[in-house]
Every structure is written in structure tokens, then in C-alpha cells.
């Protein structure tokens, strides 16, 4: 999937708006997500483009997106904050299944699945181009029953 990879950088306000939009698309509206741009030194993970810290009982999560200042210049593709956002939000759907994080292979499988799904979603979302505003409801009218 080599649709043109261009840099997507948001400020905090834009991130919050995108987060609300993607929470709707991904059916996560009942979660309170605190999202913001974070310097690398303020993140729990080393060399991460984003991270999420969930609180499952409260349906709350904190998402940190790496500040573009700290994005590694030698990375294979430009920074895409929207892709990182979608990736982290998808973790919310899978957290209950992976409470036991001792199994490294399961964790890798989870990461690979989320990465593939988030890239597919971003691809479809952007394919709409100028039509996005009208057509970005992924439910469409594909005959899904209410």
C-alpha cells in the first residue's frame, strides 16, 4: 500500500478534533481520551511515535503523540500523527484481551494487526480526498442491520 506518504503534523487543538472524529469512526465515543503532543523525554516508551496509557475501569485513556521536533530524521517515512492516533485508539478495543502482557509473541501479533488495520483505515479515509467530509462515515449503506 504505497499511497504517497506525506508528513501529517497537527497541533494540540487539531489533534483533539481528529481524536473526536476517529473515536466516532472507531466506535469509541464512550471513552474519555486525553490527547496531546509530547516530547520524547516525557514519554514512557523509548523511541515511540506515540503511546497510550489506558484506565479500563474508567474508560479513560491518555494518548501522547511524539512532538515533530523529536521525530527521528533518519526514519523511513515522514511523521504521520493521524496514523499514530488511529493506531493508539485501536489499542483500546484490544486491551481487554491482552491484560496479561507476559507473552511477547502475542504482543507482537497485536502490534502487527493494529498497524495493518490502522494503515488500511487511513488509506481508505484519505482515498475520499475532497469528498471526505461527505463520505467519511465508514458505515456507508452496505446493508448493515441496525
| Spatial distance between the Cα atoms of 98 and 106, rounded to a whole number of angstroms | 8
| Residue 37 and residue 15 in contact, taking contact as beta carbons nearer than 8 Å | yes
- What is the nearest approach in angstroms of Zn ion to the Cβ of residue 48? 9
State the number of binding residues for Zn ion (CB under 5 A). 1
Cell numbers placing 39: 516530547
Nearer to Zn ion, 112 or 135 (CB): 112
| Residue 66 and residue 46 in contact, taking contact as beta carbons nearer than 8 Å | no
Closest C-alpha among 21, 46, 47 to residue 33: 21
Nearer to Zn ion, 105 or 133 (CB): 105
- What is the nearest approach in angstroms of Zn ion to the Cβ of residue 21? 20
Which residue lies nearest Zn ion, judged by its C-beta?
Answer: 111
> Within 100-119, which residues bind Zn ion (CB under 5 A)?
111
Percent helix, strand, coil in the chain, to 5, is: 50, 15, 35
Nearer to Zn ion, 34 or 111 (CB): 111
What Rg, from alpha-carbon coordinates, does the chain have? 16
> Within 36-65, which residues bind Zn ion (CB under 5 A)?
none
β pairing state of 50-55 and 60-66: antiparallel
- Provide the mask over 61-100, with x wherever binding to Zn ion is found by CB under 5 A and - wherever it is not: ----------------------------------------
- What is the nearest approach in angstroms of Zn ion to the Cβ of residue 92? 11
Nearer to Zn ion, 21 or 115 (CB): 115
Rule CB under 5 A: which residues touch Zn ion?
Answer: 111
Amino acid at each position: 500500500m504505497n499511497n504517497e506518504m506525506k508528513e501529517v503534523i497537527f497541533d494540540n487543538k487539531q489533534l483533539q478534533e481528529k481524536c473526536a472524529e476517529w473515536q466516532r469512526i472507531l466506535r469509541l465515543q464512550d471513552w474519555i481520551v486525553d490527547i496531546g503532543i509530547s516530547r520524547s523525554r516525557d514519554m514512557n516508551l523509548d523511541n515511540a511515535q506515540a503511546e497510550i496509557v489506558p484506565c479500563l475501569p474508567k474508560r479513560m485513556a491518555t494518548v501522547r503523540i511524539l512532538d515533530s521536533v523529536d521525530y527521528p530524521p533518519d526514519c523511513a517515512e515522514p511523521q504521520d500523527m493521524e496514523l499514530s492516533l488511529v493506531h493508539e485508539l485501536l489499542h483500546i478495543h484490544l486491551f481487554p484481551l491482552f491484560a496479561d502482557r507476559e507473552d511477547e509473541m502475542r504482543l507482537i501479533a497485536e502490534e502487527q494487526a493494529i498497524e495493518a488495520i490502522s494503515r488500511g483505515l487511513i488509506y481508505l479515509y484519505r482515498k475520499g480526498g475532497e469528498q471526505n467530509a461527505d463520505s467519511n462515515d465508514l458505515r456507508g449503506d452496505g446493508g448493515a442491520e441496525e
